[in-house]
């Protein structure tokens, strides 16, 4: 079954506001020259929390999803200094969120228990979740990469109701490939994506239409080879997405192959 690919830019703690304005102008000018439509590729950008609302209210030459990089484990409103709940994201028309990025797991000690709360809150508020999984280099070298990924999926599967699976996108991001310039080989990436789909198929029929994104040093030069893999339905792009031209070219690579 054809899955419309997703290309999502994860801007992490970047960039200053002035550069965001330029980025949007450049992306719009690329799209004007050669439009990538929604049927070809879903596009999204995850800016810092500070820029979520301004990006959400921008006019683009086609729909671009605004994606939060994180969400609180606490929901609703209340005395949680510094936090943004799924309820408040939804209230601000932010309908998508990244959960479980390896930087959150590593630097903020987010474990399965916390990630379950975040996913549950996000889904209950009607958000779509991009759930990140990935093994460390040590785990890959030990030959346990597939087990680790399976565990990370099992960690949260119990809080996802059947009907909610259609609001889940999985991003496979080997930790050792994030921001390092190294990527998984195309064969390893395809094989892991297939493994993920097979695992999710045991849980839900939505597995066959679930976008599974690859992440980790994706750039215009290597996007086409990932796009050519049957189980890779898009990319979560860090560094390269900060350049609107590169982001556009990566999207173009996925749009071209999948149509």
**Separation between Cα atoms, residue 52 and residue 56, nearest integer Å:** 6
Q: Is 215 in the site for ligand PGA (CB under 6 A)?
A: yes
Q: Is 97 in the site for ligand PGA (CB under 6 A)?
A: no
Q: Provide the phi-psi class of 69: left if phi over 0, else alpha when psi is between -120 and 50, else beta.
A: alpha
Please state the closest distance from residue 101 (CB atom) to ligand PGA, in A. Answer: 6
Please state the closest distance from residue 102 (CB atom) to ligand PGA, in A. Answer: 7
Question: Which of the ranges 88-96, 117-125, 159-167, 213-221 carries the binding residues for ligand PGA, by CB under 6 A?
Answer: 213-221
Please state the closest distance from residue 238 (CB atom) to ligand PGA, in A. Answer: 2
Q: Is 133 in the site for ligand PGA (CB under 6 A)?
A: no
Q: Is 130 in the site for ligand PGA (CB under 6 A)?
A: no
For the record, the structure tokens of 126 come out as 């009607």
Q: Is 239 in the site for ligand PGA (CB under 6 A)?
A: yes
Q: Is 246 in the site for ligand PGA (CB under 6 A)?
A: no
Question: Which of the ranges 67-75, 81-89, 147-155, 233-241 carries the binding residues for ligand PGA, by CB under 6 A?
Answer: 233-241
For the record, the structure tokens of 24 come out as 């949007």
Residue ranges that bind ligand PGA, judged by CB under 6 A: 10, 173, 178-179, 215-218, 236-240
């Amino acid at each position: 079954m054809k899955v419309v690919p997703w290309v999502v830019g994860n801007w992490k703690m970047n960039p200053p506001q002035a550069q965001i304005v330029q980025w949007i102008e450049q992306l719009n000018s690329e799209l004007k020259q050669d439009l990538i439509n929604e049927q070809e590729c879903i596009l999204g950008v995850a800016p810092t929390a500070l820029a979520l609302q301004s990006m959400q209210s921008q006019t683009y030459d086609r729909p671009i999803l605004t994606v939060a990089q994180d969400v609180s484990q606490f929901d609703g409103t209340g005395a949680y200094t510094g936090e943004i709940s799924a309820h408040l994201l939804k209230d601000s028309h932010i309908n998508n969120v990244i959960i479980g990025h390896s930087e959150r797991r590593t630097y903020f000690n987010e474990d399965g228990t916390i990630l379950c709360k975040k996913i549950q809150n996000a889904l209950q508020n009607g958000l779509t979740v991009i759930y990140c999984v990935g093994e460390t280099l040590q785990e890959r070298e030990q030959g346990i990469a597939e087990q680790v990924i399976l565990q990370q999926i099992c960690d949260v599967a119990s809080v996802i109701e059947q009907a909610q699976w259609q609001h889940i996108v999985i991003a496979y991001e080997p930790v050792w490939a994030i921001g390092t310039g190294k990527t998984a080989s195309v064969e390893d990436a395809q094989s892991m994506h297939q493994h993920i789909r097979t695992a999710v198929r045991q849980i839900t029929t939505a597995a066959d239409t679930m976008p599974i994104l690859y992440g980790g040093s994706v750039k215009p030069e290597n996007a086409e080879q990932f796009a050519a893999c049957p189980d890779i339905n898009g990319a979560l792009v860090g560094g390269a997405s900060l350049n609107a031209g590169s982001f556009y070219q990566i999207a173009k690579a996925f749009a071209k192959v999948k149509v």
